[in-house]
Structure formats: C-alpha cells, structure tokens
Structure 1
C-alpha cells in the first residue's frame, strides 16, 4: 500500500499530448456568451435564446407515430447498414426527382448520414489531406472551415455575399494558386448571412469546376425553408453537377427532426463511395426506427414542411419588422432560419462579441456575434428564428429598452 508521500502533489508532471489537428482549431468564440446564458438560467432568469438554429417545433404526428410503431419490432434494434436502408435511399432519390427534377441512383449516389454535419465532416476527411486546399464561403459557418482543417487541409475564405463576385474570386484563385484548390464548398441559402442564389450560379460553378478540375460540396441544409415564393435551387439539378460534386441535405429543419440526426449526401458516386468507406469504419448507421420514420416523413408529410416554412416566414416578419422600427438596417432574408442583422450605430464600435454580451446581460436575449463566423462577420449578429412570433416581439421590446437613446452616450 502506498503512503501519502508517494502520491504526486500535482498532476502537472504528466501532460496529455493531443494531436496537432486539435491545435489548429481557434478558441471557441461563443464560450463567454454560453457561460453567461447558463448562469442566468441557473438563476431562474428568462433568456430568449436566438443564438443557435435549434428547431423547437415538433415533427408531424405521422412521423412520431411511425417511430413508436417501429420500436416494437426487435429487428429494428440491431446494427443497421452504414449507408442507410434501401427504401430510405430510394425515397431520397424520389424526393430529389419530385422537387428538383434531379435523377439519382439510390444504390450508389445516395447515402444516409447522422445529420448533414456528420456527412459533411466525414466527406472532408475522405477528400482532403495535407497540402490540399479548399475554398469556403465567408462569413463562414464554422464546420465548413474546421472540417477541412481537421482533415489536414488548408482553407481559403472568400466573401459570398455577392455570389457573382464569389465566382470571379474562385476563378482568380484557381488561376493564381499552385497547386490549385481541390475543393470548393458552397452553402445556399447561406448560413449565417442568408445570401441566396438563382440557378445560373450553379451553372457557372459547374463550368468552373470542370475547367479547373476542382470538386464541389453543396451544403443544402436550408433547402426547405424558403419565403415569398422563392425556391432554392439544388446543385444536383444542374447539368453536369453529378460529375463534379455532391450535395448534403437534412431533415432537421423542414421536417423538425433536428435531434433525430438524419441527413443525406447525394451526387457523384465516387465521392459517395469515399464517404461510405469512412463511415464503414466509423459507425454502424442510423437507428433503423429513425430511418423508417424518415421514409414516412418524405412520403406523406410534404404539407408539414410547407407549414413549417410558413411559420418561419411569420417569425422572420415579426423579428425584421420589429428591429426595423428600432432603426436597424436589415435585409429581409428570402430563405433560411436566421436573420443577419447589421449592428446599428453607435453600438457597432463595441464589436459584435461585446454587443452580444450586452444584449444577453441587459436584455436577456441571446444572439450569435458575427465575429464567430470569421472576420467578414464582424459588425453583424445572427438571430435564429427558433422562438414563436410572440417571443420574438418580446425580444425586440427587450432590445429596444436595452438600447434606449439615453444609454447610447455611454458607449
């Protein structure tokens, strides 16, 4: 038996040497806000949380009822196939053809993922390595850059808020960088800025991909949430797109199945095969009852998707109209579940992180600072449309009181 004198007084003598890939990740910029939000809630203070795009609406009852029914079948509790059961992949292909006119072979051009984020991350791991470079949109949804970094690749961020200039910059980068970028990542409707495109964007992107020999990943996570008659185009509906890339979709938003973790990667069969290889080593597939419920959702719940989009549109109007009355300059988004708001003067000089802390501390409203999405996001806030319209109007009133004119002089 060891006596107390033999027990190390400090654990500083033993260090944990983490992998270099972790050291490439920057400090987490949302940490201070999340800590204060937690403290307030622990103290019983009501916080209106517009920080994370975490849907609060339940799925259609048909979906949950099918999930409950499938739980009674013991066969559904075994390991499932890593690429998704056959009927699910067929349903994804059928929905793509029905909505976007794109034809996919469910056997080798569709794979189920644990949400689009997992599929995206593992696709980067399958494609990228040291010396490879990816172009990502800026402001940048963090996983678009960090997945490339974790795979050992390099990142070039190009401003995406003027899509035609983004394409010009992609072409310029390909002309002047050696070796040329291996991958271009696009995300429309864009998170966080809400930027949208028309079909002509993808036509030109595919032409550039074939000219400069780069691959494309289209993150189409907000495909189902469109407003005012706008319909977001699919990359895969573009002639030749399947030759150069894939598209990631998810059931988290339109079907309100965020916690279920189910999404899809569709497109180029060699890229899908590469992702399947990675997934074959990393996981045993999605719980089969979730897959069965997802089939029912895509077959019978399209009207529920339309209702969800209409609800988000009402929320968008409540938030944008309210902040506009307060004097904020906001471009009304045509799609997505976020409002990208320019910080009004004189508050912009605080910086987006400090201003977000102010709103949380004094107004009880949590938002995401633009700086968390890279340098191009500074001066902006991202506000998620996850609360109902009444709560959003409450948030606007609280922000108005927090920023009343007599307090502006203290900035």
Structure 2
C-alpha cells in the first residue's frame, strides 16, 4: 500500500541536519575522526543537584499521574521568582506563566492558537526553522524579515511594507540569536513594541540563550521594557542554561491572553511536563547558580580558542556576546554548503551551512561550541592546514 503524506509535510523544507548526518556517516565510514561542531546540543552534564531532585521526585507515586497541562503551581511560582530576580520582571504565576515541554513545543503550538489559514506571521531569516514551520502547519504564511550584518542582524522594521504589517498577526524574534549570535538592546525592543501597537501585532520572543553571555555581558529580557507584556510573550528553556536539553522543560511568560490561547491548544494536544521533571526545574531555578557561571566560563574559554584559531586561518567570524554559536562568513568563492562540505570531507569537521537557516544565511556557516576546548583546538589546527 502507498500512504500519501499531507500537503503540510510536502511543503516542509529539506531537513538540514538529515543531509549533514548522511555526509557525516560517509566520512566516519572512511575511518575519519569527526569533530561535530554542527548541532547546538550542550555536551556538559546536567548539574548534580538537579539530577538528585529528579531522583527523589520520581520515587514519589503522586508524581506518576497525569500532570497539569499548564504546569504545577510550584514550578510556575518558581519561574516567576526567577524572572523577578534575574530581570526585575513581575509575573502572576497563575495567569502569566505556563509550563512547556521544552520551548520548541510552545513555539510550534502558538500559531495554532492565533493563526488562521491565510494569516501572516513575520518571521526572521536566517532563523530557527520552527517559527516558519509552526506558522505553516497552522495554515499561515510567513513574511521573512532578513537579518543581515549591515543591520547588526536585527530585522529592519521600517522596511516591512505597511500592507504586510497590517495583515500580520504575530512576529517572532529571537535574541540572543540563533544562528547569528547577535544580541538586541532596549532601543530595539522599544521599536518592536511601538510596531506591535501601531499594527496590532502579537510579539513572540524566543529568549532561550539569555543566560549564555560572554565577557560580563548580561542579555536582557524583552519583558523588561515598559509595555512589552501588553503586546507579547517570551519563551524560555532550561535546556541551554542548565544543560537539560533531553529533559524537555521550558516555559512561556507574559501576556495572559496570549498564554491562555496557547494553554487551550496544549490542553487538547499534550498532557503537560512530567511533575518530577518540574520539581527538578524548581531545583535548577531556585538552587545555587554557580553552575550557570561555570558553564559560561567554559564556553568563554572555548570561544577564545576558536576565534583565535580560525582568525589565524584567515576566516573573519562575527564575535558573539552571547549564545554558544559563532556565525562566520565563508571564504571568497565558496557557498555555504560547499565550504561546510570542504570542512567535513577534508578536515572531518561538522559545521552547519548558513543557507539551511534561510536565504540570507548564504555565505555563512555556523559553528557550535559544544565540544571540549581540546577538541576545538584540534579542529582549528585542522582548519589551518586547509587551502581555501
């Protein structure tokens, strides 16, 4: 029998990492020692006190039942407390915080709550693919906002045609940014809020990397800016901050009406995050934060080694103030895919071609700092031996 897939699946762009995995497997089969600087999955372990809390909570039979789709009250109170301490933002735990099975889940489900077929979402490019895919799955259309070096990898809101802005239902933004490593400051968020008010657009800020600042830089929250809560929400995750990618725990905070819509979708699609994981999340948010500072120091060391090494090789990377990504222009004469293929085939190094994140990513490749300092040193030595 032949089973035809739905049109929405046929519209999906090729899954970038599937092709990378295929090429990586071919190189490994040749006996090459591959250094994977491609996928942004932290290699550091989850801190011990978080694991211990999970172990304790998993032993409690009361946590073996269905959880609340919107999250345990204790976890939501913990999130609100963390936002107050970290950003000075006050949140009502019951109406302005919702628990997610990782922020990806919430980002993908939000368009189902607010986008009707034919509606428009403003989506950055290059970007995390879920913004566009979630919009498409809801039957909406994406209007892409280019992120280019000349504008510090921020969307040019003034360049959005008024007729497009009036059609738009929501806007996705993401700072510190994946894949470019760019950051945004108060003046940008003030312009976003003004735009949202002028055109009645919902703002959805993906803030997964705010705890990954370098050199003393501390990224801010969109919700710190007056008026932000009236127009939007912010997604956050414990994945990068506490090395909990596999645990699948995140949250969205901000506008109560928007979160209520997201909650309605979740109540019909999932059954919420495992309570024991939420107790572990409380331990993460309320516990000793020295683990976060140690994580930042480790990535800072790795960044220093990488930047010095690839600059010596003749590359001119963007130097990030946050995230664990480095966005680097390809050498003259190379496309994104060609240069990533060269690094893999000739040096056994996996990177991500920028074109996979959107058309303006052509001419760049992304490097993730998710291997040890020693392996990064080895990678840059291999790059230095290449001719390009």
For residue 94 of structure 2, what is the aligned residue in structure 1?
Answer: 107
Superposed CA offset, 1:163-206 (max 9, x none) = 58955x43442523375211111000111111111111111211
Pick the structure with greater CA Rg. 1
Asked if the contact 1:163–1:201 (Cα under 8 Å) also holds between the matched residues in 2, the reply is no
Change (3 A) 1:323 1:96: same
Asked if the contact 2:153–2:180 (Cα under 8 Å) also holds between the matched residues in 1, the reply is no
TM-score (norm 1): 0.90
Length, aligned pairs only: 387
SS at match of 2:133: helix
SS at match of 1:350: coil
Rounded to whole Å, the distance in 2 between the matches of 1:163 and 1:302 is 34
2:340 is the alignment partner of 1:353: no
Rounded to whole Å, the distance in 1 between the matches of 2:153 and 2:63 is 49
Change (3 A) 1:322 1:79: same
For residue 377 of structure 1, what is the aligned residue in structure 2?
Answer: 361
2:253 is the alignment partner of 1:266: yes
For residue 384 of structure 2, what is the aligned residue in structure 1?
Answer: 400
1:390 to 374, 377, 380: 374
1:176 to 139, 159, 163: 163
Following superposition of structure 1 onto structure 2, how do residues 276-355 of structure 1 map, counting pairs within 5 Å? Answer: 276-345=263-332, 349-355=333-339
For residue 198 of structure 2, what is the aligned residue in structure 1?
Answer: 211
Rounded to whole Å, the distance in 2 between the matches of 1:229 and 1:178 is 37
Change (3 A) 1:64 1:43: farther
More divergent stretch after superposition (250-259 vs 67-76): 67-76
Rounded to whole Å, the distance in 2 between the matches of 1:166 and 1:155 is 17
Rounded to whole Å, the distance in 2 between the matches of 1:252 and 1:244 is 26
Rounded to whole Å, the distance in 2 between the matches of 1:200 and 1:186 is 14
For residue 243 of structure 1, what is the aligned residue in structure 2?
Answer: 230
Asked if the contact 2:96–2:259 (Cα under 8 Å) also holds between the matched residues in 1, the reply is yes
For residue 58 of structure 1, what is the aligned residue in structure 2?
Answer: 45
Rounded to whole Å, the distance in 2 between the matches of 1:186 and 1:128 is 17
Write out the 4+ residue segments of structure 1 that deviate beyond 4 Å after TM superposition: 162-167
TM-score (norm 2): 0.96
Rounded to whole Å, the distance in 2 between the matches of 1:80 and 1:176 is 43
Rounded to whole Å, the distance in 1 between the matches of 2:33 and 2:260 is 47
Rounded to whole Å, the distance in 2 between the matches of 1:328 and 1:88 is 45
Alpha-carbon distance, 1:313 to partner = 1.1
2:10 is the alignment partner of 1:26: no
RMSD of aligned C-alpha atoms? 1.7
The unaligned stretches of length 5 or more in structure 1 are: 1-13
Alpha-carbon distance, 1:51 to partner = 0.5
2:241 is the alignment partner of 1:257: no
Following superposition of structure 1 onto structure 2, how do residues 161-200 of structure 1 map, counting pairs within 5 Å? Answer: 161=148, 166=154, 169-173=156-160, 175-177=162-164, 179-200=166-187
For residue 112 of structure 2, what is the aligned residue in structure 1?
Answer: 125
SS at match of 1:182: strand
Rounded to whole Å, the distance in 2 between the matches of 1:196 and 1:29 is 24
Asked if the contact 1:174–1:212 (Cα under 8 Å) also holds between the matched residues in 2, the reply is no
Superposed CA offset, 1:35-78 (max 9, x none) = 02123445653211010000010111111111111121111111
Asked if the contact 2:27–2:344 (Cα under 8 Å) also holds between the matched residues in 1, the reply is no
Superposed CA offset, 1:94-136 (max 9, x none) = 1111111111100011011111111100112212121211111
Rounded to whole Å, the distance in 2 between the matches of 1:288 and 1:176 is 45
1:221 to 208, 212, 220: 208
SS at match of 1:177: helix
Rounded to whole Å, the distance in 2 between the matches of 1:304 and 1:15 is 51
Rounded to whole Å, the distance in 1 between the matches of 2:60 and 2:109 is 31
SS at match of 1:249: strand
1:72 to 37, 55, 59: 59
Rounded to whole Å, the distance in 1 between the matches of 2:344 and 2:26 is 11
For residue 233 of structure 1, what is the aligned residue in structure 2?
Answer: 220
Rounded to whole Å, the distance in 2 between the matches of 1:301 and 1:224 is 14
